[in-house]
Each structure stands twice: as structure tokens, then as C-alpha cells.
Amino acid sequence: MSDKPETRRIVIEPVTRVEGHGKVTILLDDEAKVKQARLHIVEFRGFERFIQGRPFWELPVLVQRLCGICPVSHHLAAAKAVDGIVGVDTLTPTALKMRLLMHHGQFLQSHALHFFHLSSPDLLFGFDADVSERNVIGVAAKYPELARQGILLRKYGQEIIKATAGKKIHGTGAIPGGVNKNLSLEERDQLLSEIDQIMEWARGAVALAKGYTLEHLDDLSGFGSFDSNHLSIVRSDGAYDIYDGGLRARDAEGNIIFDHVENEKYDEYLAEEVRSWTYMKFPFIKEIGPEAGWYRVGPLARVNNCDFFDTPEAEKERKEFKSLTDDKPNNITMAYHWTRMIELLHSVEKIQELLNDSDLQGEDLVVTGKRRDEAVGIIEAPRGTLFHHYRVNEDDQVTMANLIVSTTSNNEPMNRAVQKVAEDYLSGVPEITEGLLNRVEVAIRAYDPCLSCATHAMGQMPLIVELMDQQGRIVDRKIKG
Amino acid sequence: MEKVVTFLLDGEVIQGQEGQSIMQAADKAGKYIPRLCAHKDLTPHGSCRICTVLVNGRPQSACTQPIADGILVESETPKVNQLRTDIIDMLFVEGNHFCMFCEKSGNCELQALAYRFGITAPKYPYQFPQRDVDASHPDIFLDRDRCVLCGRCVRASKELDGKNVFQFVGRGVEKRIAVNSEKGLKDTDADVVDKAISVCPVGAILKKRVGYAVPVGRRLYDHQPIGSASEDETTK
């Protein structure tokens, strides 16, 4: 018998109920204590390289193929950058509002998908519930009205995308300097006819997420939680904004690290670190450095960062959320769900406001400007701040692309959450159950990661858990699915 | 007075003028025969073979085969359409056709033919050929990945524009469309208003900066399949 201490390695692959494919590895020492826990992204996409040589006007349509869940985010971030390439800094009111409508439709459908389809099984049935019930089919069976609302909220968001981009997924609405269509009166009236019902369901979604968080606050406060910096864009007056604004970063106490940073200067403030065990980079705030300069993005960061929402119901909800932490940033990982639903409500309010704006029926769709060779487009995607940076040669071909997608910024936070949950729930436990492993996934799911920024896998994904000795021999193996 | 020629197309009596091709007579009679390299303003080429019909049981290209009294022409039959489907399948894998982001999508004749023949995915292995783009011209973008070697641009440049901008080089699988200068399109007398630019049936020759200006839902083949009566005849 060897005297060497035995290390066991637990692998969760793939992580389920998230977009894309990833795996978690957990190393246990000979006393079954967690030595290391990591989230690995195992896909390589290569977009930044293979779009080189393509003409710049293709970018908004080409690059959105990164994702099947939030393609509008990539479509609009690329469109904003391409606006810069064609020398346009200000769109026509019709073009701007069509893009905003598209973007809020996207937030609505993406947030509804995540909350109702992917995360609600954990919240409604409990982390340890029978896995055969803890899924969207189980939700539909036990809470049919809730499941129906989730599906129809998402459908409404998809219909808005279709009305503004031509297709529910991978449309073409935003073009260099503007948009290719306005909103017809027929499209507007159809969408307006459902808005009151959608608003009611959005209020219910906030109440559900808020109620769950407050009811389980004692358990959730420490669940995968830690102090962090927060990054997002905010409007020039500090308002919440998902389409346009300067970069703002706060520390865990709420102190401003930088504010209203112009999009073009993002790389003076942020940098990325590469680690050998994952295809995903680790962004950080340059001034602080990679050790402590990492930050969160997404709903939690945006609601923590902004000074106010410019719609009444979302602002009321924001104030209630912030009152929990005396107006300081909330660092509870599971609070992502609550803030995500506040954002969903805000998007419905904005959709209603926009649908009643006659600018959407305007005919002035595109403006032109003086050609430039480099531009940056930054927006807030449902999962967080999204950066698109391009350089173009005199023949109109892309020569450089740098994309920092939202999930990349949440890489370090997700790894910290995995480490924390593993230490809190798996260390020293004699038997590692499926429910305990699900806790690791629950922490990852809170961030709504889009691991490949790609389309969904269909059907049930297998979960494979392997216990290995130090030589890599499998000593135990469980398969689900 | 030209002689009237009578023949049968899929069992229907068609009358045409002597000297017409089967395609010309069929078009006149309102009978669509699928095509790719053929264009009403250009000399027939007979190269793509999508317009293959059976004439008295033998395969012929409808764009080059003249009509004759009493011939039996089969076009819309399962056997002939299978031949056409196979050709379209091969064209898709022979080039690098990525419809999902191609700006010609919805207006592309190759894509529209694939929809007409119910092709949802290629059945042959992709060849992934290495081809070059030519972005040197200020107003024209040449993407050889999408070229189907139909030769419309070659003929249009000579016959309609009075130029000689495009030509084929190489043979067999190495055949490519070339331009009349080693320095690229910018060094030729190509102009964005040339017919050679607008007759391209696919996304190989594009006017720069047009992109996706036409929204989804208003493109040529968004609602009607290629060959429908409402189709814009200028694209053929």
C-alpha cells in the first residue's frame, strides 16, 4: 500500500442548465478536504481570428452567430462599433429607438429563459430535490401557470426581436449607421395588445425572486458569496442603461474606482489574463491588478452600480433591493436572480414606453459619416458588459477584433463561487451526493453563464461524476442522464 | 415569317419560334425551368446543368438545346429533379457557402434553388477549398468562396459592358474566376454600375457597403420560391 497521500478528483461534465458546455473539477485531499475547485470552459470558438479579412459591414450579422440566446447583444455591440467605422456617432431617433426596442426585447426573452426554464427548478423544488423532478418539465407539471408565464414572457421578447430585426434569432435589423426597417403600425398594435398582461407577469416574476431571496436570506447570504468589484456602463447622469454609456466600476463597499470612462478607452482600464487550464480569459481592472482587480458583471453589478432606474416600478424595486445593504453593493451571489427580474420588469416598462413613441414609425433610418479605421462598441448584454473592438483596413476588411464577452468577465467570480460552495458543502463529507454536486451548479447558474456563447444543446445532458486516485485511476463513477 | 415549332413539355403542348432554346420557349409559355448560369440577357453557357431536361429520353441543357417539332421534353419529373438536386448539393460543398451571414441570403439564386428542391443540409462532404477574396476595388467586393463558376460575370463583362474584367483560370477543381490584372480588381476598368457586377446569382460579386439594407421579409425569395411568377425577371 502506498504511503503517498491520495488525491481524489471529482469532475462535473458537462455543467447542466447553462448555455454552452463547461466542466467543474474538484480535487479532494486524503482527508476529503477540498484542495482546489475550478470551472473549465472546454470549447474554442476562434471568432476573433476567422472574421479577419471579412468586410466590416458583415460584422453585426456574422458575429452574432457567437450566440443563439443573446445574439442581439452581439448584433448591437458590433453595430455600435461599425457605426464608429462609418463615422456615425449619433443615430436618427427612429434608428436609436428601434435598436433600444430590440435590445429590451432581448433582455426580456433571455432573462425569462434563464429564470423560468433554467433556474426556477432549483428555487421551486430545492437544491436536493429529486433530479427527475428538478427540471423545467417538473416545473410545468407542478406549477403549470408559472411555466406558462415563463414561456409566454420569452415568446413576447422574441416577437419584439422579430419585429425589429426581421427574425426571432439572428436577424439583420441594425446596419452601419442605423437600421433597415421601422416598426409598422400593425406590428406596434399587435405588441401593444399584449403589453398589460406581460407587465403583470413581470411584476409577478420580481415578487417571486424577491420573496424567495428574502425567505431564504440566511442560507443564501453565504452561498457562494464573496466581496467583489462591480462593473457596468451607466448613462451620463448615472442612470441604469444597457445600450449606451460610460464604464463605471465600484469596489465591494461601493466606492467608485472609475466612472464614465469613454468606450474607446476601455483597454486603458481593463486587461485580460490567460491561464493554461481554460479557454476563457480572466479580465481585471489594470489599476488594481489581476489578483484583486477582477470584477462581477451582469444584473447584480448593474443594479449595484447605477444610481437609479428611469422607470418607476423598476426604481421602486431597486430601492427596496438596495435597502437590504444600506445602499451599498450587494455581494450575495444568489441575489443575481432578484436583480435579473428587476431588470426584466424595467425592460417591460421600457418596451411599453417605446411602443407608444411615434418615432418608431419614422422613415429616417440611416445616417452616414466620415470613414474611420478603428472603433469600439460596448453595451450591456443580459449576462453583463460586452465589448467589441475592431480595426479595418483601407479595403474595408477587418484586420483586428477583440471581443470580451460578458461571461468572460464573470470567469473569476464563477470560479470563486465554485471554490466557496465546494469548500462549504463538499469538504470532509463522507458521501458526495447528487444534491451536493448540484449546489456547485446552482452557484454557476446564478451568473447565467453562456459558456460557449453558442446555441443550446437539445435534450438531457449527461452528468458524469468520477472519483479518481492520485494516479488518475477511476475509483468510483456515477452517471446521470 | 419565323416557323412555329410545336413540342411537348411535361405532356403539355408548347409552341415556340424556330431557333429558340427549350428554356426560351418554356419561359414564353410561362413554364419555369430551374437555372443558374443562364440569364435572359446573356448568351447561353450550358455549364451549370441545373436546367437539364430529358429530350426524347436524353439529358440536355434546356438553355442551349434548340426546340424541334415533336420532341418530348421532361422537366418537372422526379428523375430530372433528382439530377438537379444532386448538382445543387455538389455546388454547395464545392465552395464555401455560409448562408447564415451572407448578405445575399434571401436574394441568392443558389440558396433559393436549394429551398425549391427541399435541400436542408448537404449530403456530400464539404471540400472547404482555399480561395481568395479581392477587396481591393473601392466599390466592389469579390468573394471567390461563394463563386459557383457560372460565368455570368465573364459573359456580361464582354457582351453587355464591352469590357473584359472577368475570366476563368485553371482547370477542374482548380478552376477559379480571375480578374484582368495581377494587382486585383482595383487595377481593372471594373465599375460598380457594370452589368457584370449585378448579374452574379450568388454572393460572390457584391457592391460594397450595401450589406443587409433590405430587411428580412422584403427580400426576393422570402415569400415566393424561385421560379414564381412574381419573381424579378432581371435577376435571371
Cβ within 8 Å, pair B213-A395? no
Kindly tell me if the per-residue pLDDT of A468 is higher than 70. Answer: no
CATH for A47-409, among 3.30.420.40, 1.10.10.10, 3.40.50.10880, 1.10.645.10? 1.10.645.10
Residues of B whose CB is below 8 A from A170: 100
Neighbours of A302 (CB within 10 A): 28
Cβ within 8 Å, pair B101-A166? no
Q: How many CB pairs under 8 A join A and B?
A: 51
Residues 151-170, chain A: which have Cβ within 8 Å of B? 165-167, 170
**Span A444-461, average pLDDT:** 56
| Residue of chain B nearest A169, judged by CA positions | B100
Domain edges within chain A:
8-45+428-480, 47-409
Query: Do A406 and A450 meet the contact criterion of CB atoms below 8 Å apart?
Result: yes
Residues 14-53, chain A: which have Cβ within 8 Å of B? 53
pLDDT of residue B2: 78
The class (CATH top level) of B85-218 is: alpha beta
- A371 close contact with B: CB closer than 8 A: no
Cβ within 8 Å, pair A57-B209? yes
Q: Which helix (H) or strand (E) holds A73?
A: helix A71-85
Residues of B whose CB is below 8 A from A60: 212
- DSSP reduced 3-state for B205: strand
Instruction: Name the minimum distance, in Å, from the CA of A280 to any CA of chain B.
Output: 25
| Residue of chain B nearest A85, judged by CA positions | B209
Query: Do B99 and B146 meet the contact criterion of CB atoms below 8 Å apart?
Result: no
CA–CA separation, B7 and A257 (whole Å): 83
**Span A321-340, average pLDDT:** 96
Domain edges within chain B:
4-76, 85-218
pLDDT of residue A69: 81
Cβ within 8 Å, pair B215-A173? yes
Cβ within 8 Å, pair B208-A171? no
Instruction: Name the minimum distance, in Å, from the CA of A181 to any CA of chain B.
Output: 6
Cα A55–chain centre separation: 28
CATH for B4-76, among 3.90.180.10, 3.40.640.10, 3.10.20.740, 3.60.9.10? 3.10.20.740
Cα A250–chain centre separation: 19
Residues of B whose CB is below 8 A from A62: 101
Confidence of residue B194 (pLDDT cuts 50, 70, 90): very high
By C-alpha distance, which of B151, B121, B167 is closest to B49? B151
Query: Do B168 and B177 meet the contact criterion of CB atoms below 8 Å apart?
Result: yes
Query: Do A391 and A400 meet the contact criterion of CB atoms below 8 Å apart?
Result: yes
Helix, strand, coil in percent for chain B, rounding step 5: 25, 20, 60
pLDDT of residue A353: 98
Cβ within 8 Å, pair A170-B136? no
Cβ within 8 Å, pair B212-A180? yes
Instruction: Name the minimum distance, in Å, from the CA of B96 to any CA of chain A.
Output: 14
Query: For chain A, what percent of residues have pLDDT higher than 70?
Result: 90
Which of A170-184, A378-392, A460-474, B217-231 bottoms out in mean pLDDT, i.e. has the lowest? Answer: A460-474
Kindly tell me if the per-residue pLDDT of A453 is higher than 80. Answer: no
Kindly tell me if the per-residue pLDDT of A466 is higher than 60. Answer: no
DSSP A359: G
Radius of gyration of chain A from Cα atoms?
22
End-to-end alpha carbon distance in chain B: 29
ipTM surpasses 0.90: yes
Kindly tell me if the per-residue pLDDT of A41 is higher than 90. Answer: no
pLDDT of residue A359: 98
pLDDT of residue A78: 98
pLDDT of residue A461: 38
- A210 close contact with B: CB closer than 8 A: no
Kindly tell me if the per-residue pLDDT of A460 is higher than 80. Answer: no
Which of A353-357, A416-420, B51-55, B212-216 bottoms out in mean pLDDT, i.e. has the lowest? Answer: A416-420
| Residue of chain B nearest A171, judged by CA positions | B216
CA–CA separation, A446 and A340 (whole Å): 10
Kindly tell me if the per-residue pLDDT of A403 is higher than 70. Answer: yes
Confidence of residue B189 (pLDDT cuts 50, 70, 90): very high
Query: Do A239 and A307 meet the contact criterion of CB atoms below 8 Å apart?
Result: yes
Angle, CA B185 vertex, CA B180 and CA B190 arms, to 5°: 80
Note the pLDDT tens digit of each residue in A353-386. 999 999 999 999 999 999 999 999 999 999 999 9
Nearest to B211 among A58, A65, A397 (CB): A58
Query: Do A225 and A332 meet the contact criterion of CB atoms below 8 Å apart?
Result: yes
Kindly tell me if the per-residue pLDDT of A473 is higher than 80. Answer: no
Kindly tell me if the per-residue pLDDT of A479 is higher than 60. Answer: no
**Span B228-232, average pLDDT:** 57
Confidence of residue A1 (pLDDT cuts 50, 70, 90): very low
- CATH fold match for the domains B4-76 and B85-218: no
Kindly tell me if the per-residue pLDDT of B206 is higher than 80. Answer: yes
Note the pLDDT tens digit of each residue in A216-233. 999 999 998 999 999 999
